[in-house]
Every structure is written in C-alpha cells, then in structure tokens.
C-alpha cells in the first residue's frame, strides 16, 4: 500500500471537511449506513453546524461504529481564541487596531455557528455515549489513520472517543 487512503477503504468515514484518508459522507449518508459497519470516523468543520446538527451527527456516528470503534473530532478551540484575544494579540496587532476590533474582524470572517471549548465538546461526546475520551495535539494520534489529519495546530481542539463494547 502506498498511502493511508488505500489502507483505509472500508475502515473509516469523514463528515464535514473532506479528508483524503477517509470516504467522505454527509450526515444523511451516515444515517443510512448499516449499524456497526465502520471502524473509524473523522469529523471536522463542525463549527459551521448548529449544536443540534452536531448531536445528530454524533448519534449517527455512534450507531455505525463497530464496538470499540473510534471517532475523532477536530474543530476550532474557543479557549485558544479567547486566550489569543486576552494575551497574544497585543504584540502582533496592526497599529490603530484594538483587541476588540481584531476579535470582531476575526468573528466576521468566520462561518462558525458554534465554537466549542474542551469541556463542552467532551460533554457532547459523553452525552452521545462515547467513552475513553482523550485530547490530542492536532495531527497526533496513537491510531495511524488519524495521524496528520489536521493542518491548523494553533487553534485546533482535537478529541478522540471510543464506542463502548457490548459488555461495557
């Protein structure tokens, strides 16, 4: 095999932003898939969805994952954005632009409908039924298929969680 994409056929799907490691699906596609039919799900670009749309996707992902299957969620990190506003933007802001103006310029340039911090994203995964939820740096994973999936390391929030086995 020459690439992860070749080795991932039938193992994983992506919802949201396309990723060459996975078969790209919509939430509707995922909902029509058979239960316990994939091993890995990658979900990115969720900030463009409402909280209700995200919960719908998590429900569908949990259903189609095999027992012990893994979901990886990558999104903008609200905490990093806020810390950047509070601590880092003074040193790099253009002359004549306040921190508030810079934050509002960023906000207007985004299509985000909901931006998560770690606590809220973790709660969404737990409420959906995922277990063993862990945070990872962007691009890092103990699971080969998830390595190097993210490109924006500075503001990425990345969590992986596992579908419980039938005996858990």
Q: How much is the average pLDDT of 94-108?
A: 70
**Summary mean pLDDT of the chain:** 83
Nearest-angstrom CA–CA distance, 53 and 27: 9
**Does the pLDDT value for residue 144 go beyond 50?**
yes
| Residue 88 domain-assigned (yes or no) | no
Q: What is the CATH number of the domain that holds 26?
A: 3.40.50.150
Question: For 23-42, how does the pLDDT look when each residue is reduced to its tens digit (9 = 90+)?
Answer: 999 999 999 999 999 999 99
| Residue 69 domain-assigned (yes or no) | yes
| Residue 143 domain-assigned (yes or no) | yes
More confident residue, 92 or 13: 13
| Residue 50 domain-assigned (yes or no) | yes
| Residue 146 domain-assigned (yes or no) | yes
| Residue 96 domain-assigned (yes or no) | no
pTM above 0.85, yes or no: no
Q: In what order do the strands lie in the sheet with 12-16?
A: 23-25, 12-16, 38-44, 65-76, 156-162, 131-136
Question: For 33-91, how does the pLDDT look when each residue is reduced to its tens digit (9 = 90+)?
Answer: 999 999 999 999 888 888 899 999 999 999 999 999 999 999 988 887 777 777 765 55
Nearest-angstrom CA–CA distance, 55 and 43: 12
| Residue 168 domain-assigned (yes or no) | no
User: Which structural domain range is residue 31 located in?
Assistant: 4-76+113-162
**Does the pLDDT value for residue 154 go beyond 70?**
no
More confident residue, 108 or 134: 134
Nearest-angstrom CA–CA distance, 141 and 14: 16
pLDDT at res. 91: 56
More confident residue, 83 or 148: 148
Nearest-angstrom CA–CA distance, 46 and 58: 11
Q: Which residues pair with 50 in a beta bridge?
A: none
Q: Which residues pair with 76 in a beta bridge?
A: 156
| Residue 119 domain-assigned (yes or no) | yes
Q: How much is the average pLDDT of 98-124?
A: 80
The domain tally of the chain equals 1
Q: How much is the average pLDDT of 116-145?
A: 95
H-only helix segments in 2-142? 4-8, 27-32, 51-64, 78-83, 89-92, 99-109, 118-128
């Amino acid at each position: 095999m020459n690439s992860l994409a070749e080795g991932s056929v039938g193992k994983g799907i992506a919802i949201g932003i396309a990723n060459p490691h996975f078969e790209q699906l919509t939430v509707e596609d995922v909902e029509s898939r058979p239960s316990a039919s994939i091993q890995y799900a990658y979900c990115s670009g969720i900030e463009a969805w409402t909280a209700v749309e995200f919960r719908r996707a998590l429900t569908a992902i949990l259903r189609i994952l095999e027992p012990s299957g893994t979901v990886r969620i990558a999104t903008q990190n609200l905490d990093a954005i806020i810390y950047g506003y509070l601590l880092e933007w003074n040193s790099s802001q253009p002359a004549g632009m306040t921190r508030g103006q810079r934050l509002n310029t960023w906000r207007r340039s985004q299509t985000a409908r909901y931006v998560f911090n770690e606590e809220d994203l973790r709660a969404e995964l737990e409420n959906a039924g995922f277990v063993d939820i862990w945070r990872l740096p962007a691009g890092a994973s103990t699971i080969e298929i998830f390595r190097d999936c993210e490109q924006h390391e500075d503001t990425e929030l990345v969590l992986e969680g596992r579908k419980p086995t039938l005996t858990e």
